[in-house]
Chain A
Amino acid sequence: MLNIFKKEINHFFSSLIGYIAVGVFLLATGLFLWAFPDTGILEYGYASLESYFYMAPYIFMFLIPAITMRSFSEEYNAGTIEILSTKPITDNQIIGGKFLAALFLVFFALLPTLLYFYSVYQLGAPVGNIDTGATWGSYIGLLFLGGAFVAIGVFSSAITNNQIVAFLLAIFLCFFIYTGFDYISRLNVFYARLDAFVEQLGIDAHYQSIGRGVVDTRDILYFISLILVFLFFTKVVLEKRRW
């Protein structure tokens, strides 16, 4: 698994795509939070990164599929998947390695945004007047959200050898699971009966819950389950080649 992980990481950092993904993420959040007045932290006036954590999922929704779209599609195209399957590694290791590598890249993209935290920390009146605990909670939430999106992306990539299709499908799935359930829960059929349950199926409810700064085992369990389910789906898809 470590070999796959290393190989993938190396691939990200030696190709342009990894840098573009991370760069676009940093540029987009930077512009929204520090340059544009409507969403800007400085104009908001409160010492918190709320707007960052509100916006980040939507940017992730595009960038994570861009990172993950090639993970299996490319292997199919180049035929390298067959080489991989002759090596003494299991499917689980391949999937795990690819998942962790993409997640690492998400983590790598998040690291520089700690600078936002530092800035708000320094700009607070008095200095340090930011709820540090709540901010860490939000970061944890964002990391889990990233993990879920990566799992979805890896799965999308596994079902097609066309990277564009994988990209678009991943965007759709991420968007749907992120907010779709929220919209569905407001349908009249569910009203006052199942709406809360349907809402809980979506990422948004859990992400917001952690984002407030409350780490709840239920939310963590949800994210881990979601990630595992999609990775398991991926595994089934890979096995399908041998059916």
Chain B
Amino acid sequence: MVKKNKQKRLSKRVNSILTLGIFLLVVVVINLLGNRYFKRFDLTKEKRFTLTQTTKDLLKNLDDIVYVQVYLDGDFPSGFKRLRNGALEMLNEFKSYGGSNIEFEFVNPLEGLNEGAKRDVIQQLYEKGIQPTNLKVKDNEAYSEQIIFPAASVFYKGRETTIQLLENKIGQSPQEALNGSIALIEYKLAQAINTLQTTYKPKVALLQGHDELKPDDLQWMLNIMSSYYTVEQFDINKHLYIPETFKCLLIAKPRLKFNEPDKYKIDQFIMNGGSVLWLLDPMIAELDSLRNRDAFMSVEYDLNLDDMLFKYGVRLNKNLAQDLVSNPIPLMIGMQGDTPQYDLFPWLYYPIITSGDQQHPISKNLDAIATKFVSTIDTVKSAGVQKTILLSTSPYTKLQYMPIRIHLGAVKEKPNRAQFKKGKQPIAVLLEGEFPSVFKNRLKPNTQAVTDTIAAFTNRDKSVPGKMIVVGDGDIITNDRSSKGEPFPTGYFRSTKETFANQQFLLNCLEYLIDQSGLIESRTREVKLRLLDQGKIKDGKTFWQMLNLVLPLIGLLVFALLYNSLRRRRYAR
């Protein structure tokens, strides 16, 4: 009897341990399966955590580990915590598609280092292209300075690239800037991975032959571009046609006339699907001309491109825009001993462009852009061509048409606001679609005979779908140089020591013109800024505090009393 009982108990024991084992096994298997077949519901309003399809594809097709090192770790103000969390969330999201091929780490590069070592690290990071951000941190009534690096390095197959996570925008509150930056994290990470992945760099031709800008004039931009593209100078006079191996033609500030053969070469490059970035100055206007005199007359360059551009859908106006929102220039105001004294004066011919198309990936979340002697662009009717105005001047614009007398005395005159009523004027236009050839029905028979002999070349009257961007300023791509001859960043304005987003704009343009992956679409992501109403808080702080602190407790107390009195009544009955 006792033995039987014991046996029974033993079997019970075996039974329940066995079930436990089976149960655990089932749980593990279900979780493993669940990890493979999952579904996610993004409840956030802006679908913040839903990656674009292109990014998902990029991540799913990774064939090696992408290692991301984010230099944001430690204690910093809440805004930067949000940036860090944004990066963390995005990387987690990347991980859920890229799996074990995505690895990341958050580090504080300055942690535990002495002053000397810190300086070395800052220098090393600076050489990688990472700029530190100085923060004033208030602790115990005293302000101390904190250096942080809102940036990340991305490593893939022994290659490395860096991304800046913080986009500072002039005239934007720090919070807005942080929000814009958070919205761009996906794009920047995906682009970095994409860049590291492509061993092949698309070719860009820097057109030469019409006194265009020399590589020296845009050295900074060429350096930056070289990480994404192979840029080659292309002297059009020496070639019969522009080969299709070039994905994009960069025409930067030509100053001499284009003859008909050159135009034909460019036209056919476009007809065969090539992209063009036109950076054109229709008017002769350089500040250098004012070095020895007080005034000059600005007249047009005879570029002979009007008919071509008109056919594609734009007219580059022979004018100069004056804008109340503009950069100043330094002018000598006298001598102190031997050294000349300079002061900054408003120079309305240098508009600061802040109004870009907020829907378009090229100009969305883009900082202000510095221009010099910019001309406006009109769009004209051209069937099958879609036009997008990427950049416009401020609403306080005045247009002057040729001939224009530009004189230094203007800086001293107070601009008459009533004259600046032209409203926003387009200065950069994107054209997309099937462009008509400007040489349609115009080709001479002997030219035709020559082109027919070139096997790699097809004459077309209408383009395959293509893209081009026309900007009414050629100087947008140039860079200044320091007294030592080092190039400053493109868009760096020496006299005010401000850096404008010219570089980013041009990179976006090139990417849009060349990119086949569609990654740039994720630039349009938006994260709405959600702030509390500080006015309401100031007025009713105590009220809200009391409401949230006390009301729940009172509610609980009332519930307790009611519940127990009801219970007692029921028992009493």
Contact = CB atoms under 8 A, between A and B. Distances in A.
Contacts of B541: 42
Interface string B106-127: 0000000000000000000000
A17 interface: no
B544 A134 contact: no
Given A14-B567, A119-B548, A134 B12 contact: no
B38 interface: yes
Interface stretch (A63-71, A95-103, A156-164, A215-223): A215-223
B35 A124 contact: no
A31 B548 CA distance: 9
B30 A213 contact: no
Given A124-B532, A131-B45, A221-B34, 8 more contacts: A27-B549, A30-B552, A46-B531, A112-B551, A124-B530, A213-B42, A213-B48, A236-B20
B544 A42 contact: yes
Contacts of B95: 196
B17 A44 contact: no
Contacts of B31: 221-222, 225
B43 interface: yes
B533 interface: yes
B272 to A, nearest CB: 45
Contact of A34 (B24, B103, B532, B548): B548
B12 A133 contact: no
Contacts of A179: none
Contacts of B17: 236
Nearest to B567: A14
Interface in A111-142: 112-113, 115-116, 119-120, 122-127, 129-134, 136-137
A132 B530 CA distance: 11
Contacts of B100: 196
Nearest to A123: B532
Interface string B66-97: 00000000000010001000000100100110
Contacts of B44: 131, 133-134, 137, 212-214
A45 B532 contact: yes
Interface stretch (B205-213, B310-318, B556-564): B556-564
A200 to B, nearest CB: 9
Contacts of B536: 122-123, 125
Most buried by A among B12, B45, B534: B45
B39 interface: yes
Nearest to B541: A42
Interface in B12-64: 12-13, 16-17, 20, 23-24, 27, 30-31, 34-35, 38-46, 48-49
14 contacts: A22-B556, A34-B548, A47-B531, A47-B532, A115-B551, A116-B548, A123-B533, A126-B533, A131-B44, A132-B45, A134-B45, A196-B100, A214-B44, A216-B39
Interface string A1-21: 000000000100110000100
Contacts of B556: 19, 22-23, 26, 112
Contacts of B30: 221, 225
Interface in A29-57: 30-31, 33-35, 41-42, 44-48
Query: Is chain A's binding surface mostly helix, strand, loop or mixed?
Result: helix
A137 B530 contact: no
Given A124-B531, A133-B43, A213-B43, A27 B553 contact: yes
Most buried by B among A125, A127, A136: A125
Interface residues on B, range: 35 or more
A160 to B, nearest CB: 19
A125 B78 contact: no
Contacts of B40: 214-217
Contact of B552 (A47, A112, A132, A215): A112
Nearest to A237: B16
Contacts of A31: 549
A82 interface: no
Most buried by A among B41, B49, B100, B548: B548
Contacts of B223: none
A124 B544 CA distance: 13
A131 B567 contact: no
B410 interface: no
Contact of B537 (A42, A136, A222, A239): A42
A35 to B, nearest CB: 6
A214 B48 CA distance: 9
Interface string B518-557: 0000000000101111101100010011011111110110
A129 B49 contact: no
Nearest to B78: A44
B9 interface: yes
Given A19-B560, A130-B530, A134-B44, A192 B103 contact: yes
A137 B43 contact: yes
